[in-house]
Structure 1
Amino acid sequence: MATITNPGSCESECKEIHESLENLTHLAPALAIKTQIEKRQIREKYMEMYGEDLISCLQKRTTQLAKSGGDGLGVSSGAAGAALALWMLDPIERDAVVAREALDQKSETNYRAVVEMFAGRKSSHVVRIKQVYQAKFGRVIDQDVLCIEPPHDPYKKILVALVASHKAHHADLSQHIAKCDARRLYQTGEGRSGAIDEAVVIELLSKRSIPQLNLTFSTYKHIYGHDYTKSLKKENYGEFEDALDVVVKCISNPPKYYAQTLYGSIKGITKDKGGLARVMVSRAEIDMDEIQRVYKNKYGTDLIEAICESIPSGHYRDFLVALARKTSSTASSFSSLSTSS
């Protein structure tokens, strides 16, 4: 599949994709190396040629493959199809879709997926995500966060605060405010006995921008000699501190946070359903190289090796490996649907 420069030049690619929907062997790794622009052009041309949205076609095929399993690869193909559908979405639309699935009250709320959106996206992006969320699902994401059950869940408290932080006026970063906030976190946390003062944390999360919070956490480490998350490991701390630990890591050290999320998903030691595909897809064009370096340093093995050791052979594993190998310099270097992973 050649590099695409305009929608009119990818008829052959769309034809190959259409024919490959019955067998994802070559389709998954070939699409994995496409850039955002190329994926958008393919989706537009596919609609023009076949009158169907490629995402919808992939989702339908995913359901069929997951149910069949006739060739012994149904589960793998179904997972690959679902990951492919997510991958082909525009990043803003993808976040909206992930958020809706995470907040669906028919199932347990996937807090990590929502945290990643509010703690790891620019406010301008969050505004656009909210717009797409409402247009696509007819719902208001802020209201869906407020409706999370149970009402006193610590993750809900933090998410409500993060929603507010994106609505607040964001001034330039202030080192003075960061120092004051860092000292306040210390005085109401490890600087006293007992659990941390939740009200203080919620207040800061709701009033400060994500960049300002990041500066506060780095200032905390500078002043007290260790990460703020280290202060959340006391034995007498509870669920609120555990939830806060996840949020702080996502804000202050994204590569480390995503490496840990991938490890938990690969090893099956987390409740974060879909975490592996979500992280691989969302970070492939952002910081996957750095995530892989952190993963290797922290767990002593390459991410690709870990995926191959833990995920059964099949289309899904091929797709994940292709995403792991994707870098800015190789994003458009493959030239055929038949390229293997």
Structure 2
Amino acid sequence: MAALGKRGTISQASDFDAEVDAEKLRAAMKGTGTDEAAIISILTKRTVAQRQEIRDAYKTSVGKDLLDDIKSELTGNFEKVVCAMMMTAPAYDAYELRSAIKGAGTDEACLIEILASRTNAEIKAFTAVYKQEYGRDLEDDISGDTSGMFRRVLVSLATAGRDESTAVDEALAKQDAKEIFDAGEARWGTDEVKFLTILCVRNRNQLVRMFQEYNQISGRDIEDSIKREMSGSLEDVFLAIVKSIRSKPAFFAERLYKSMKGLGTTDSILIRVMVSRSEIDMVDIKAEFLKLYGKSLHSFIKGDTSGDYRKVLLELSGGEI
């Protein structure tokens, strides 16, 4: 749901006409009954940018918000996934973050997934939309809903201050690896601040190099040390940062797998990942899914979902590898 990427499964429709699509969607929803197949065939073959043009054309020609009509015509997870597809990337992230924070309890996993995996530009964009849409400051809401070192890590990520250069400083990689080792495995207790100042700030290439140095020093992958030194949400957020840095496609493949394995399906995660990555790196996520779990993402979706909801997810997945 960001800028169109060649590794996505959704690409721009050729011969696109927003007014024609708007008319077809109106016909699919007016009168008795709903033509779900028409809605699926149009919206799953359009990019987010094209869907916004359709929404504008619909309002001009019908005098109503397309999203409102979709909500009145569809139900359940089918409604949720189609509504998610109709939002811009920053608006969708902002919506998911707000949903994770408001009400009783906090969806820490949602906060971690979004904040640990987005670029600086993406974080700045959804932070601005969050303020505009909800009249609230995202950082303040995170601070009010979380606590301790976990809160400090999330706030650090929300500032969008990560170095995004590609340069690697070999001496710094060695120094950072030793400092993290000294802050964790080499002492009684854990200096979590040291993990924060390195993992939330350094650029991707620098961290990948540091992970290699850490393995040389400690004899362990840094993920293993994080699991040994921390617990709960703090462990989860540091692991998410490391996994996302190593490979975003593998990180999201694991998210999808965990959303569908075992009893029941965590549809909120499944919808969020499928929609948010469909234009960015879904091709790579599918490849990682097959490599990691020995079954295709397509087959998991078919086995864990049903009806029109399943049809939309299969379209977003781009079919079999």
Secondary structure, counterpart of 2:97 in structure 1: helix
Residue in 2 that maps onto 1:43 = 55
Matched, 1:146 2:143: yes
Question: Do the aligned partners of 1:195 and 1:237 also contact (CA within 8 Å) in 2?
Answer: no
RMSD: 2.8
Matched, 1:290 2:281: no
Matched, 1:202 2:196: yes
Counterpart code for 2:132? A
Question: Do the aligned partners of 2:180 and 2:195 also contact (CA within 8 Å) in 1?
Answer: yes
Residue in 2 that maps onto 1:80 = 78
Question: Do the aligned partners of 2:18 and 2:50 also contact (CA within 8 Å) in 1?
Answer: no
What's the TM-score, normalizing by structure 2?
A: 0.82
Alignment of 1:237-256 (within 5 A): 237-239=230-232, 240-256=234-250
Separation (CA, whole Å) in 1 of partners of 2:104 and 2:180: 34
Question: Do the aligned partners of 1:110 and 1:272 also contact (CA within 8 Å) in 2?
Answer: no
Question: Do the aligned partners of 2:130 and 2:138 also contact (CA within 8 Å) in 1?
Answer: yes
Residue in 1 that maps onto 2:3 = none
CA displacement, residues 122-165 of structure 1 (integer Å, 9 cap, x when unaligned): 2222222111111111111111111114x23x54332122224x
Identical aligned residues as a percent: 25
Alignment of 1:328-339 (within 5 A): none
Residue in 2 that maps onto 1:280 = 274
Alignment of 1:284-323 (within 5 A): 284-311=278-305, 313-323=306-316
Separation (CA, whole Å) in 1 of partners of 2:199 and 2:213: 20
Structure 1 gap ranges (5+): 66-77, 328-341
Q: Shift of the alpha carbon at 1:282?
A: 0.5
Matched, 1:221 2:184: no
Counterpart code for 1:244? F
Matched, 1:181 2:176: yes
Q: How many residues align?
A: 300
Residue in 1 that maps onto 2:37 = 25
Question: Do the aligned partners of 2:166 and 2:206 also contact (CA within 8 Å) in 1?
Answer: no
Q: Shift of the alpha carbon at 1:237?
A: 4.1
Structure 2 gap ranges (5+): 1-11
Q: Shift of the alpha carbon at 1:115?
A: 2.5
What's the TM-score, normalizing by structure 1?
A: 0.78
User: CA 1:15/1:271 → structure 2, altered by over 3 Å: closer, same or farther?
Assistant: closer
Larger deviation, residues 215-224 vs 92-101: 215-224
